[in-house]
């Protein structure tokens, strides 16, 4: 038994390693190009930023057996219709504010982040904002002064004051509203929105 069979030889596995890695990587690149083009803002899965001018809901679709975002009639944010450009700028401010205030190390965004505070994926649609008429106002007030407006649901966990300005708070609300319109393949599951209550 002096000869090493092919399947146990070093050179065979070296070639296999190189081929497997190269092929996997090429497939990943192809899928990446396809995925990114399918998910640019303005597409079917990730709506344009001006979607914040519309009513957004998240409803269970029996045929698909999962919840999907449903875009409805006009429902302006802060009572003003925005152009795509204005909407993009406001969402951008919100996204930057979310990053620079380190939201993700308490909350999850699209389910990713820390687990000390609730998920923000569908925060815009949460029943915790009591009614649709109060929602925008409550959200801005809460973000600017979370200590005095805290609703801890009996957990004693309060969001700290992060010095969020009114403009930044409006940006965050726009960002959250836009994010709630993204098709997330049914995550979160079984979510009852503020619309469902009415």
- Minimal distance in Å, beta carbon 114 to other proteins? 5
Which pair of tokens denotes residue 181? 């319109």
- Does residue 59 interact with other proteins by CB under 8 A? no
Dist. CA 100–CA 30, nearest whole Å: 33
Stretch that binds other proteins, among 75-83, 101-109, 135-143 (CB under 8 A): 101-109
Considering only residues 147-166, where is the footprint of other proteins by CB under 8 A?
152-158, 160-163, 165
- Does residue 58 interact with other proteins by CB under 8 A? no
- Does residue 3 interact with other proteins by CB under 8 A? no
Stretch that binds other proteins, among 78-86, 92-100, 130-138 (CB under 8 A): 92-100
- Does residue 2 interact with other proteins by CB under 8 A? no
53 vs 109 by CB, closer to other proteins: 109
* Phi, psi (rounded to 5 degrees) for 149: -105, 15
Residue among 70, 84, 86, 113 that touches other proteins (CB under 8 A): 113
CB burial readout 126-163, b (16+ within 10 A) else e: beebeeeeebbebbbebbbebeeeeeeeeeeeebeeee
Evaluate whether 140 touches 166 at the Cβ level (below 8 Å).
yes
Residue among 53, 142, 168, 180 that touches other proteins (CB under 8 A): 168
* Phi, psi (rounded to 5 degrees) for 73: -75, 180
Evaluate whether 178 touches 123 at the Cβ level (below 8 Å).
no
73 vs 101 by CB, closer to other proteins: 101
148 vs 165 by CB, closer to other proteins: 165
* Binding string, residues 27-46; x marks residues near other proteins by CB under 8 A: xx--xx-xxx-xxxx---xx
Dist. CA 140–CA 87, nearest whole Å: 17
19 vs 73 by CB, closer to other proteins: 19
Evaluate whether 68 touches 183 at the Cβ level (below 8 Å).
yes
Q: What is the DSSP letter of 146?
A: T
Residue among 61, 81, 99, 131 that touches other proteins (CB under 8 A): 99
- Does residue 123 interact with other proteins by CB under 8 A? yes
């Amino acid at each position: 038994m002096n000869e090493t069979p092919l399947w146990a030889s070093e050179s065979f596995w070296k070639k296999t390693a190189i081929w497997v890695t190269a092929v996997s990587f090429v497939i990943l690149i192809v899928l990446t190009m396809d995925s990114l083009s399918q998910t640019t803002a303005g597409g079917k899965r990730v709506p344009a930023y001006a979607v914040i001018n519309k009513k957004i809901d998240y409803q269970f679709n029996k045929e698909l057996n999962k919840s999907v975002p449903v875009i409805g009639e006009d429902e302006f944010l802060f009572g003003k219709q925005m152009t795509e450009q204005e909407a993009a700028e406001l969402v951008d401010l919100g996204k930057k504010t979310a990053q620079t205030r380190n939201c993700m190390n308490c909350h999850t965004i699209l389910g990713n982040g820390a687990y000390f505070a609730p998920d923000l994926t569908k925060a815009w649609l949460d029943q915790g904002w009591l009614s649709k008429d109060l929602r925008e106002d409550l959200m801005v007030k809460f973000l600017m002064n979370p200590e005095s407006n805290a609703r801890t649901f009996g957990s004693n966990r309060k969001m700290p004051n992060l010095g969020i300005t009114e403009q930044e708070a409006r940006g965050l609300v726009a960002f959250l509203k836009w994010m709630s319109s993204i098709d997330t393949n049914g995550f979160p599951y079984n979510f009852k929105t503020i619309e469902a209550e009415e």
